[in-house]
Structure 1
């Protein structure tokens, strides 16, 4: 069943929108919530609403985001921090890890450029980045086992592989990491909200995500992020960067209302000490509404709808003898990359027909959402057949 049977998605009307891996289509109710939010702030700035109470009006909505996000990934609320985006989260995770000269980081050439760049930055500390090469879009668990050793400090994993939707076996990778006293850091931007996660069962140490893709939180230039840190390691690891939120709340209040006494400080012990960056309230208000929709629909139903459409597309592509650089097995993918000839030109032609995909790494990245319908897969294949 499509999410559009429960909610309108205006971006999908009159088009085939298979581009969720760029920006997720936003439900009508979330658009209305955002409109109401900005109308409210217009009233505050015009002094039509009391300033202080008006600024607090969405506080509980924003705070509820942590509860909803924790439910989506199978975590505790106390393990969730507000951070601006996945990039900030991945950088924060790396800054918390006590690297030493001679350590190494293991990742793959399926890594999103941001993740690879953050790993390379650790060379300044004498840390090596080891890349595992994929074979037709797949990196098997045994390849990770071979690459990891007792000098490995981090396994950096994109879930899913950003250009082809490949799903790693996160639980097995976490086991490999922990056997070598290493940490596993996951960029979940391309799967959180699309599949049923359980970070406790999978034993993930850190997970970062942005909200503008599968969480349906709105366009990337008005989005935000979440950061998960496993409870058992929060107390032992601290980030490089600090700010007012690093302080215990009582000390922060005293220094803003009573007077300066910061000749020493004691950092907070909870995850709130990581929340030193600006928090885009409007983006949290938007994603709060969309997460409620996803949870009400059921993440297992979200995943099933996406994979059903994927399968219909794959079968159609196979009938056209088009190579696919994504596993056919639905347990190992959440979207698709097809090696279509002249894929960049084909992408442009498709967009002129209101059919949206992305040219990525030698093929077309096709990423339907749970709001798409199975018959759209048939129409898409017809369009591809006419263009190749």
Structure 2
């Protein structure tokens, strides 16, 4: 870090915890958060436990990890102890929760929007075969989905409203409180995907008024793949009896009974054997983000994403991102010509970003990002376009992806 910025930005004290930042301008935490150095030791602990304790690891450590790590994460959601459990993916977590609903004519509707993450849209589309009526509210501009149109789509036949807290393409922050309030008035559940929220914006599930909040550690929580989580409002648990279930949801799993005697607590949303290595890998990132503090991370994110918008505007680069910082998450997308090829050119320069059709190049600073790295990224986009170096990637002369 530069000495001046290190003195004025206390969050940069965490920069040394992430080895890749020494050589890389890492602006892709919206896709994969940088790996903490401590994850190596955590994964070594996994191997050491397996190697020295063998099958005893289950009763001594592993069996309860999904819930214990959930307790470590819970403060980042405004949740309490015993309310969060881990899942192998956000899609599976949605499938578990939604399998607890019955789609009958009086209550068969699911409301979502066209900018929800496609994996969840595929899952919801599959529920049509179980009798669900899926209503997908379109976006007028490819950036946001108007709250009024979502609220209007929710009626007395709606069983569940499924939406992203922050849209993955545009970084638009949904007005979740207003949408959840309408769902609550008509007796529908609100199931929110917080993958692009937790770790970059403060989250309080009770203040939002949602019934289910799902997320993962892959992105802003710097925890790697295979570690997702689910919070279900405690008062709702008894109403949901997931059909997608397994032995970890049983009161006495080692009795190996043929019938399921379902637990009453958050474990009722567990199913098969968890991905234990993923839980080990996720723990250090959660701890760092907790210590960095959500409010401080959000303040820096607003400042740096606002700066990216300014830099893009100064060069005439179109932004497919909300202008209002309150409605913008941690990402700025710029939709320049030859965007995909430009994004590959940036990666070749060790400026890591990604490209999404309909959004453009997504740039995502995090709490460990220096201000000068924003300038360098936008300068590099301008230079790549000016010199035409993007053509090497369009013509297949480079193997960098």
Q: TM-score, normalised by structure 1?
A: 0.89
2:35 is equivalent to residue 26 of structure 1:
yes
Cα distance in structure 2, aligned partners of 1:243 and 1:125: 21
Q: Offset at 1:226?
A: 0.8
Structural RMSD (CA):
2.0
Larger displacement relative to structure 2 (63-72 or 80-89)? 63-72
Q: Secondary structure at the match of 2:230?
A: strand
Cα distance in structure 2, aligned partners of 1:182 and 1:344: 40
2:115 is equivalent to residue 119 of structure 1:
no
Cα distance in structure 2, aligned partners of 1:24 and 1:302: 14
Cα distance in structure 1, aligned partners of 2:137 and 2:13: 42
Query: Quick check: 1:120–1:129 contact (8 Å CA) kept in 2?
Result: yes
Query: Quick check: 2:67–2:82 contact (8 Å CA) kept in 1?
Result: no
- Of the three residues 68, 75, 82, the one matched with 2:72 is 68
Q: Show structure 1 runs of 5+ residues with no match.
A: none
Cα distance in structure 1, aligned partners of 2:59 and 2:251: 21
- Of the three residues 340, 344, 367, the one matched with 2:340 is 344
Partner residue, 2:382: 385
Q: TM-score, normalised by structure 2?
A: 0.87
Q: Offset at 1:148?
A: 1.8
Q: Offset at 1:242?
A: 3.0
Cα distance in structure 2, aligned partners of 1:56 and 1:369: 37
> Where do 4+ consecutive residues of structure 1 move more than 3 Å?
50-64
Partner residue, 1:82: 86
1:90-133 per-residue CA deviation (whole Å, 9 max, x = no partner) reads: 11121112221362221111111111111111211332222222
- Of the three residues 95, 98, 121, the one matched with 1:91 is 95
Partner residue, 1:314: 309
- Label 1:2 to 1:92 Cα distance change in 2 as closer, same or farther (>3 A): farther
Cα distance in structure 1, aligned partners of 2:188 and 2:196: 23
Q: Offset at 1:65?
A: 1.2
Cα distance in structure 1, aligned partners of 2:209 and 2:152: 20
Q: Secondary structure at the match of 1:235?
A: helix
Matches within 5 A, 1:296-307: 296-307=291-302
1:291-313 per-residue CA deviation (whole Å, 9 max, x = no partner) reads: 11111111111222222221111
Matches within 5 A, 1:1-388: 1=9, 3-6=11-14, 7-41=16-50, 44=51, 49-51=52-54, 58-59=61-62, 63-101=67-105, 103-136=108-141, 137-218=143-224, 220=225, 223-249=226-252, 252-253=253-254, 255-256=255-256, 262=258, 266-334=261-329, 335-362=331-358, 363-388=360-385
1:274-302 per-residue CA deviation (whole Å, 9 max, x = no partner) reads: 21122122221222222111111111112
Cα distance in structure 1, aligned partners of 2:382 and 2:260: 66
Q: Show structure 2 runs of 5+ residues with no match.
A: 1-8, 386-401
Q: Secondary structure at the match of 1:105?
A: strand
